[in-house]
Amino acid sequence: MQHVSPVREPLVTGGKTYHDITEDVCRQVEAKPNVRWAAALAVSLVGLAIFIYSVYRTLWFGIGEWGLNKTVGWAWDITNFVWWVGIGHAGTLISAVLLLFRQKWRSSINRAAEAMTIFAVICAAMFPVLHMGRPWLAYWVLPLPNTFGSLWVNFNSPLLWDVFAISTYFSVSLVFWYIGLIPDFATIRDRATGPIARRAYAILSMNWTGSAKAWSRYETVSLILAGVATPLVLSVHTIVSMDFATSVIPGWHTTIFPPYFVAGAIFSGFAMVLTLMIITRKTFKLEDYITMEHIESMNKVIITTGSIVGVAYTTEFFIAWYSGVEYEAYAFINRATGPYWWAYWSMMTCNVITPQLFWIRKIRRSVTATFIISIFVNIGMWFERFVIIVTSLHRDYLPSSWAMFSPSIIDIGVYVGTIGLFFTLFFLFCKFFPVVNMAEVKAILKSSSEVTHHHSPASGMHGTAKGSNTNTHHSNE
């Protein structure tokens, strides 16, 4: 029955059995926290403390604590918002788009990638909410009847579309992630020895028994959720890009923005997934599940989207000149050669040049090189948003209002703080939730593991080819 593909590498190595998968994934959930994890969490908590302090300063003294001025009224806040939302794209892309494309390599990374999505969107949401200045009135963005004679929100504004897009994206991703977690929580529940763990995981696993009927519905729900989440993930960054594209600022008012932003989002998202996965597989010894094949596949996505982003940078530069609009042309020349040239060239180096190294197979399959390049991409994508936002705003039509932007310590604090918040959430997730989707990995084990799993041949029925079993690749040769 075991089919060894001559082309594809196995997705699960080390000759695992079903029980090994349970053991390997449940290990860090059940064991006492290890020192490395505790140290990492402690560092993240310092970041979280910085976040809380910076938010306190922002709310108590107001937005004046940030480095914004009359000309550059949007800077680090929106840069960080778009950066985090972009990172948040990979999770749903991996779990939804790759599910529709039947890419089995998604199975062992989708759980952590979706967790990353959810945490990244939480971090992203902090910035627009804090920028409101009075976040306790954040509900004003919703179309609720009010005392102004029911003056409604403006449905023509991309900023309002963003409210709907981000909140829908967050809640649908959360539900998708949770549905996948239910069977795995049940596995932990049935193994739990302590009274607290047993009760906690019993509640989380929602009475899941793993009956065939439940699995059948589970599969249907996953497929439909993937189907609706796929256009959703594309719509989110499209709408984020419209925040800029529908305005008349030179450098923003371009039709290329939606696809360019979506490609950039996938690019940065996969980079962050790689950063996290390389740390996770090392820390929790999951090298048999997150294999070289996984890393290489993700690197191929990086090189594809990185090249799309490169083409987009070139195209917008060319069109700025070709359009003959002097303001547009100036915005781009100013980006590359003006006072923010260093940001522009950091972006170009990190996003366009370094990912091209992945054309070399050796680099694509090197953990160290991948880790370093993924950090470069994360940095580059931050600079991309900074370049688009700040360089376009700081010199617009009226030279008398030209200004420079420099971040205040609180700007930096909020940004570094969200990284702390993100990693705090991620490390807590790693400890208490199964980081690899056990059920899905078990489902691909027979068709895609390295060695035939140990099974007593007593029945003699092993390999009775039943056409009904589509899970296993039947080899008729």
Partner 1 sequence: MNKKFVLGIYDDEDVLLTAIENVRAAGTKIYEVFTPYPIHGIDDVLGIKRSRLPIVAFMCGLFGTCFALWMQIYMLGFDWPMIIGGKPHLAIPSFIPVTFELTVLCAAFGMVITFFIVTNLKPTLKVRMLDKRSTDDKFVMAIEVKEGTTDLAALSKLLRSNGAIEVNEKEVVK
Q: Using the rule CB under 8 A, is 387 a contact of partner 1? A: no
Closest listed residue to residue 182, CA positions, set 216, 212, 215, 230:
215
Count of Cβ atoms closer than 10 Å to residue 420 Cβ: 22
Cβ–Cβ under 8 Å, residues 356 and 303: yes
Nearest-angstrom CA–CA distance, 452 and 33? 33
DSSP one-letter string for 347-366: HHIIIIIGGGGGGSHHHHT-
Q: Using the rule CB under 8 A, is 337 a contact of partner 1? A: no
**199 or 361: CB nearest partner 1:** 199
State in angstroms the smallest separation of the CB of 173 from partner 1. 10
Cβ–Cβ under 8 Å, residues 105 and 285: no
Site for partner 1 in 87-126 (CB under 8 A): none
Q: Using the rule CB under 8 A, is 147 a contact of partner 1? A: no
**235 or 283: CB nearest partner 1:** 235
Q: Using the rule CB under 8 A, is 74 a contact of partner 1? A: no
State in angstroms the smallest separation of the CB of 55 from partner 1. 28
Q: Using the rule CB under 8 A, is 452 a contact of partner 1? A: no
**1 or 97: CB nearest partner 1:** 1
Binding mask 20-59 for partner 1 (x = CB under 8 A): --x-------------------------------------
Please report, for residues 271, 302, 338, 352, the alpha-carbon distance to residue 373 in angstroms, rounded to integers and kept in the order given. Answer: 8, 10, 27, 11
**224 or 403: CB nearest partner 1:** 224
H/E/C letters for each residue in 452-464? Answer: CCCCCHHHCCCCC
Residue 26's H or E segment, with its range, is helix 18-30
Site for partner 1 in 225-264 (CB under 8 A): 225, 228-229, 231-232, 235, 239
**Binder to partner 1 among 152, 321, 322, 359 (CB under 8 A)?**
152
Q: Would residue 285 be called left, alpha or beta, if left means φ above 0 and alpha means ψ between -120 and 50 degrees? A: left
**60 or 155: CB nearest partner 1:** 155
State in angstroms the smallest separation of the CB of 248 from partner 1. 11
User: Under 8 Å CB-to-CB from 426, ≥6 apart: which residues?
Assistant: 44, 115, 116, 119, 276
Nearest-angstrom CA–CA distance, 408 and 65? 7
Q: Using the rule CB under 8 A, is 470 a contact of partner 1? A: yes
Closest listed residue to residue 384, CA positions, set 246, 276, 275, 237:
237
Site for partner 1 in 164-223 (CB under 8 A): 164-165, 168, 171-172, 175-176, 179, 182-183, 186-187, 189-191, 199, 202-221
State in angstroms the smallest separation of the CB of 219 from partner 1. 5
Q: Using the rule CB under 8 A, is 456 a contact of partner 1? A: yes
Q: Using the rule CB under 8 A, is 466 a contact of partner 1? A: yes
**Total residues binding partner 1 (CB under 8 A):** 81
Q: Using the rule CB under 8 A, is 307 a contact of partner 1? A: no
**189 or 294: CB nearest partner 1:** 189
Exposure string of 312-341, with b = 16+ CB inside 10 Å and e = fewer, is bbeebeebbeeeeeebbbbbbebbeebebe
**Binder to partner 1 among 137, 459, 476, 477 (CB under 8 A)?**
459
DSSP character at residue 230: H
